Structure 1
């Protein structure tokens, strides 16, 4: 042990700790400075950044024995407070810089250090600084952060006032369509918002700390599990195995379609008979400290008989492949698509046909915050589970039978979450902490390392696709044939629904009267397939958008003009036969056409013998909802102090549920003139909030928004007197008028049939993406120089939230196109190894253009937004690479060696 005096945020603080403890842990655990976040734990994300003796340092890798006595340290808590914000923090709010907010304190302190050195930085200075200091953000696309630093610098120089900085924030009146800050913004920029690990520090003293015993192979029979040595280790209370699970010890995948050959009960909570993927949980060590738990976990002996591991769909589909889940074929679901006439005669007689094979891989979500959760029994005896779940009512139903706990005795609470991007649509640790709590009778806490986050949680499911198109010489699309295989990993949850997306979105955006195709869901031993932004469309639309460029070349048409000729217009239908609710794609193409022509001209002018430039386009389409009559509920309550509280489960994994719920409620209540400050949102606690459904498929603003709108309208009716004046709370109580109202909305939609035909979505989103790239001929390295997105998402409810979603999604699309992968479990287990895009890999030049076609079924005309920017920008990038240098990449990501190989052919 050592004792040191540190000078922290202007005052002397004494710490007593182990020599090998990290500075990050000491600041967090000894001094309770929880603005210091631990993300990657290896110095690759910058969330633990502080100023140490005037220099910016990443503290998760600095041992206390290296810290000198009286070292001066500044954390985000020392930059500004909620009632005295620093200009940097104010600028972050003004530009919507805090989305999930987990990385925000690290960026704030990094910007603070930069502006101490240079109060007049250029945008490139800011980008160089964040790149040098490894400040990583997965949400924002970085551009708003650079905007914020530039404005903060202007305020510090005296070139701009604080009021001028916040001039776009409305003081009164409507907040719909404005830059009204999200309610959580101040807490996020000051580092005072408690995420899961922060809450973990504040749990009762008797809380047990958990460590997992996990599989280090991808497929095996379990011969034995010996916990005897581990149980004798210091501090260990219990080692929990499958024998301690009271229920079925399975997480149900809630099979969507009857034709699915699986039963959904294929995922163990704790492995009992087999290991199905690397990282599967075999045992949970519960101890007094995390250190003791992890030490004991190393002593659990697991004897395995390794089995063949099928790490891709083609491998698992081989005739001699064994069934991964005995009794269920590895290909367990088939989805047809049949629209219009048979396609074989059309292809036989067509002037032009084109065919291609395409692959979009296992993109990792890579949130900065690793998965974290805890569980306890409340005073009513209910099992309360806190996590990053973005589907709490759904997850309770998925885990209750496996736990052996009655569904109505489980309470799910969503902690403030440092991003999920969809992986938390699947339960990850909810059942694990539930089992540990039930087995020990004590509160339990589990926090994954970033390695566990990367190797164990779900990933985007790879699609192996073959697509054929037939057209006439004028470029009119006549028919399409498709074949796609979905590598969904070992667990079936939502795999059938994902496979349906291929039927819905291969060829989306184009009026193709005749389609035939077949897709299938395949069980493999690689990482399980979970939801990821775009859910099926980044795979599906990559194939059809690249093939459209290939078709344009074969016909001799410009790619934009071929698209313009075929996109949805009145009378068109989607691949599922649905009438698009608006027809904005021609207008979007017209809007981007001059920019496209300028980009092609710029590419020609800037190309050199060494570096070739190119421009490429793609269109993107996605539906908002969970298919069919998707439903959400909400409630509102008037309190004595005149506050109206909105209750629903609008899960917030960074996209802005708080501002979405507030804006929608404020607009719905506008006939009463209630100011935004008099509306409170209570979200994501199943003991308080009705079921709004999960946060996936860009459904929240549409489906939950409509439920909030209905609830607000009922509240207005309830509170309005006959003379048009408004009841007070006291008057309502006196007249026995309920002060709480409930609302509900169901989408007027139908499920798709066995041929993929139906009306699955009430609202769609539409976009056209223009990418400009530079390709180094000697290396194959591609840089995206600019990306432009013209979008129609209906009414823009909040400008900052919408722009932030677009920038962030575009950045993830660049990663998907060029660097991101999780194929090699060892190589891709770190942020750098997996191709995480830092700021210099994302262009500062990102242009957003919006057309607002009001949606008939959207709340106040709004559609969703979150999925759209990751539908197809990666296809635009791949098309731009081809136009730059002639290298056609059909297998993502387009790493330099792939581009170089194509150049050398």
Structure 2
């Protein structure tokens, strides 16, 4: 390797760098200097997280080779923009306006925005958006709107029209709960001083070794005849090549399937494949080497000999009569769950005044977090295996790692690194178990693994696609009479979270309407495409794809406005859901009342602004989701009184960007209100399994609800212990003197508070709380190309009492932006294209409307911590169908299979012009719906 010394002026200071001019990028050189505020996400110039200013111009430093940069060039990075005591207006505005969620993209956005304001100190909102589009700055958390808000606010300060005080949050006395107090981690993130996983690899002591995974990518289904690691073992710097034969445990990624009808048990996924490849992203080995470059070079040398097997890349292929079993112990359809209510739907539909039918496909959606998968591992001073990673399910992942690698669970310590979002994929513990397997081989040096974005995309799970055949009917007044559906849900080759997903499909078809007769079946099956995992709104999104489209279709056939049709059919007080249980709340009429004038205005505007070339349309969709994981959900936290009178909160409320830190602070401050503590007297110790009790997975919109109740329990125990007879409170010293403990465990358990879905009938109400919403989408469709642009989304939501305004708004804007891209562009189906952000349909800022309006009901819950419910998944539940319905409203064609790419819309319009309708044939799942329902009745479990 030939190295060169050169000088760059970085943040006003001349710095010497030693670089490999042929290989090093500017990002590589900066990060090696310790300037890790410059993040690397995609690594190929598609995300903008690496944005810096070079000679006054913003560039993407991950693709700018050092050899192309003249010596003594001036470089500005986030570290030179401001300090904690002297923030730049952009940094302060990003904190105050909720522009920082996971924060991984924030330094890049701030640098890009700084370059803009250096050129144009008085931009319009559209100019800000065009700038970020031009420079490819991507955010998956915020929906972009808060970022533009922050840039506009900072520009006012820089023009002298406002002061820093004007854009700085002002506390409302000593109140935290229900305010817009910024999250505690935001300051470090806007300064570029928050160390994410790939940053920590530069800062580990002990000369870390580097890992590289071996993904053969020779097939999606094949027998492995031989894995030849010998060529890799002799490569420079290689310490060890770990394969399945080295694994001390069961070599499985264990996610048990908790459903009595499942023929698979959750032990199907190998940690390291040894005898069969089940999908394109499977890993057969991990190389441990002295440097990342050496590890990657050696990984390329591993040779895998295979015997190809039939590849079933969709559910429909896998369930054909002649398909072979992917897993020998079960047919490819391994789980079935019915919903039965009232009379058989086919009979009621036959006698109803009006009915419609359709077949709908919800696509395989990539999460596309800007940060991929990265982690560190080492052995601590107590002999614990430590894995620092992106886990959003610390307790659950500990168990999976322990079983997989053969270590007692009490010796597995998982710490969540500051995390650049995941939206669900980080609940899967497979990569953490790979790190664990390597740690079992290396005891004396730390390890670090950073997947390339392409590796991460093929390794991590996706939202599972679902095919649904369905019919819906109503009487002459427009009241729904019956719903029939048959859903085929594809999980890829592994069964991860199957029971949770099918539960949501069977509960949110037709939500939140009153439907007296329902016959439904959910079938879950394996394929050889990528595996399905958690993704915000898991299961319900796919259900709404069918049910909310059918509501529009039936309204159209009846000649009733789709908004009015929904108003006729929303559940009223005392009416029940399709699982034969009453709704827990009935805010639907109030939500519709708030939306009605906005809908009427939007419809009138769309009619007025439509032209022959660009048609405007408006679509509506009802939505909602549950809170908690069900009757078995459990959460623990701990509160400790410190000698200085502060209180430390210990929990594993994993923070994937949604705001676990501000959530913890808010619920703790509120629960301890009688003590009169300031917010800065509450310390947070979070997401370290050695130090913190298990609060549970950050999923199912459960964290605030579950951790909130557990915090109230811990707070009451602590205050009871502190309280003297006269009502005042003991100090720490007084408690120690009296032998009274100063630390208390708070517990909240859902046992006995609901009923799981009956596996034979679908009757039940497993979860403790719900959230409700209605979404309106406004679109413009280019008649010549079929390209659809979403120009506005309005949401009316009910999440109970809001714990933190910025956090809830952030989840709303972010979830809505995912809904828009789900409807129009995001899909991981083509394996060759799917390894990149652009190939998988990442939405840039101009793909998401600047007009996102969120209206929240003030509806505190009778059962909920301080009146709160949950919030996140509401906002990604059904907004995508509002977009699809708006396309139909604009140009009179329905897109049945997501996403609604321009070519699909164009083809549908051309078919309409010919007097035809483009729609999928009824999907065949291998057997008749009612035959299956009769079989289940005859063989109950």
Task: Output the TM-score relative to the length of structure 2.
Answer: 0.95
1:490 pairs with 2:496: no
Q: Which residue of 1 aligns with 2:302?
A: 300
Aligned partner of residue 225 in structure 1, secondary structure = strand
CA distance in 1 between counterparts of 2:446 and 2:325 reads 39
- Given that residues 22 and 59 in structure 1 are in contact (C-alpha distance below 8 angstroms), is that contact kept between their aligned partners in structure 2? no
Q: What's the CA shift for 1:28?
A: 4.0
The residue that corresponds to 1:769 in the other structure is: 775
Superposition pairs for residues 120-199 of structure 1, below 5 Å? Answer: 120-166=122-168, 168-170=169-171, 172-199=173-200
1:619-670: CA deviation from partner (whole Å, max 9, x where unpaired): 1110011122411111100111222011111011000000011101111111
Partner of residue 710, structure 1: 713
Q: How much does 1:850 deviate?
A: 0.6
Q: Distance in 2 between matches of 1:29 and 1:12?
A: 16
Give the distance between the partners of 1:379 and 1:575, measured in 2 at CA: 54
- Distance in 1 separating the partners of 2:737 and 2:645: 15
Confirm or deny that 1:506 pairs with 2:512.
no
* Alpha-carbon distance between aligned partners in 2 of 1:127 and 1:367, rounded to the nearest angstrom: 20
Deviation of 1:898 after TM superposition, in Å, equals 0.4
Partner of 1:892: 898
Partner of residue 927, structure 2: none
**Structural mapping, 1:217-296, within 5 Å:** 217-296=219-298
**Structure 2 equivalent of residue 870 of structure 1:** 876
Per the alignment, residue 410 of structure 1 pairs with 412
Does residue 831 of structure 2 align to residue 825 of structure 1?
A: yes
Q: What does the per-residue CA deviation read over 1:760-791, in whole Å, with 9 as the maximum and x for residues that have no partner?
A: 11111101101000001100000011110000
Who is 2:756 aligned against? 751
Shift of 1:474: 0.6
DSSP-derived class of the 1:429 partner: helix
CA distance in 2, matches of 1:804, 1:762: 24
Structure-1-length-normalised TM-score: 0.99
2:599 matched residue in structure 1:
596
Give distance in 2, aligned partners of 1:352 and 1:171: 55
Indicate the RMSD between aligned Cα atoms, in angstroms. 1.1
Which structure 1 segments of 5+ residues have no match? none
1:277-320 deviation digits (Å, cap 9, x = unpaired)? 11111000100000000111111111111111100101111111
Q: SS at the partner of 1:440?
A: coil
Q: Which of 547, 550, 553 is matched with 2:550 structurally? A: 547
CA contact (8 A) 1:22 1:60 kept: no
- What corresponds to 1:450 in structure 2? 453
| Alignment-derived partner of residue 806 in structure 1 | 812
Tell me the equivalent position of 1:389: 391
Contact 1:576–1:757 under 8 Å retained in 2: yes
Distance 1:370 1:460 in 2: 16
Query: Does 2:741 match 1:735?
Result: no
Matched residues in 1 for 2:216 and 2:575: separation?
A: 50
CA distance in 1, matches of 2:174, 2:378: 43
Task: Measure, in 2, the Cα distance between the counterparts of 1:177 and 1:20.
Answer: 53
Distance of 1:125 and 1:25 partners within structure 2: 27
Shift of 1:426: 1.2
Instruction: Judge conservation of contact 2:773–2:796 (CA < 8 Å) in 1.
Output: yes
Partner secondary structure for residue 439 of structure 1: coil
Q: State the secondary structure of the residue aligned to 1:251.
A: coil
Whether contact under 8 Å (1:629, 1:749) holds in the other structure is: no
After TM superposition, the structure 1 stretch with the greater mean CA deviation from structure 2, 464-473 or 42-51, is 464-473
Q: Give the whole-Å Cα distance in 2 for the aligned partners of 1:889 and 1:520.
A: 23
Quote the Cα distance in structure 2 between the aligned partners of 1:648 and 1:597: 47
- Within the alignment, does 1:692 sit opposite 2:698 as a pair? no
For the Cα contact (< 8 Å) 2:637–2:714, is it kept in 1? yes
What is the deviation of 1:25? 4.0
2:617–2:779 contact (8 Å) kept in structure 1 = yes
Q: Retained in 2: the 8 A contact 1:206–1:443? A: yes
Contact 1:365 / 1:532 at 8 angstroms: preserved in 2?
yes
Displacement of 1:342 after TM fit? 2.7
* Alpha-carbon contact 2:366-2:462 (below 8 Å) kept: yes
2:930 corresponding residue in structure 1? none
> SS where residue 612 of structure 1 aligns?
strand
Residue 23 (structure 2) aligned to one of 16, 21, 24? 21
Q: Say if 1:628 and 1:759, in contact at 8 Å, map to a contact too.
A: no
| Displacement of 1:740 | 0.4
Aligned equivalent of 2:644, options 636, 641, 645: 641
CA distance in structure 1 between the partners assigned to 2:392 and 2:804 by the alignment = 21
Q: What CA deviation, in whole Å up to 9, does each residue of 1:465-521 have, x standing for no partner?
A: 012112101111111111001110011121132122211111110011221111111
Find the counterpart in structure 2 of residue 427 from structure 1. 429
How many Å apart are 1:397 and its aligned residue? 1.3
Aligned residue number for residue 338 of structure 1: 340
Q: Secondary structure at the match of 1:148?
A: helix
Asked if structure 2 preserves the Cα contact closer than 8 Å seen for 1:22 and 1:61, the reply is no
Distance of 2:436 and 2:656 partners within structure 1 = 22
Task: Show the counterpart of 2:922.
Answer: none
Following superposition, the deviation at residue 373 of structure 1 comes to 1.4
**Structure 1 counterpart SS, 2:430:** coil
Match of 1:701 in 2: 704
Alignment partners' CA distance in 1, 2:813 and 2:404: 40
- Contact between 2:584 and 2:770, CA under 8 Å: does it hold in 1? yes
CA contact (8 A) 1:480 1:514 kept: yes
Q: Deviations over 1:227-255 (max 9, x none)?
A: 11111110000001001001111111212
> Which residues of 2 match residues 96-115 of structure 1 at below 5 A?
96-115=98-117
2:862 match: 856
Alpha carbons 1:496, 1:521 under 8 Å: kept: no
| Structure 1 residues 670-689: aligned runs within 5 Å | 670-689=673-692
Verify the 8 A CA contact 1:249 1:268 in the aligned structure 2. Answer: yes
* Aligned match for 1:54, one of 53, 56, 77: 56
Which residue does the alignment assign to 2:801?
795
Verify the 8 A CA contact 1:169 1:179 in the aligned structure 2: no
User: 2:524: which partner in 1?
Assistant: 521
CA distance in 1, matches of 2:59, 2:223: 46
SS of the residue corresponding to residue 520 of structure 1 reads strand
Deviations 1:715-767 (A, max 9, x none): 22222222222221111111111110111112322211112221211111101
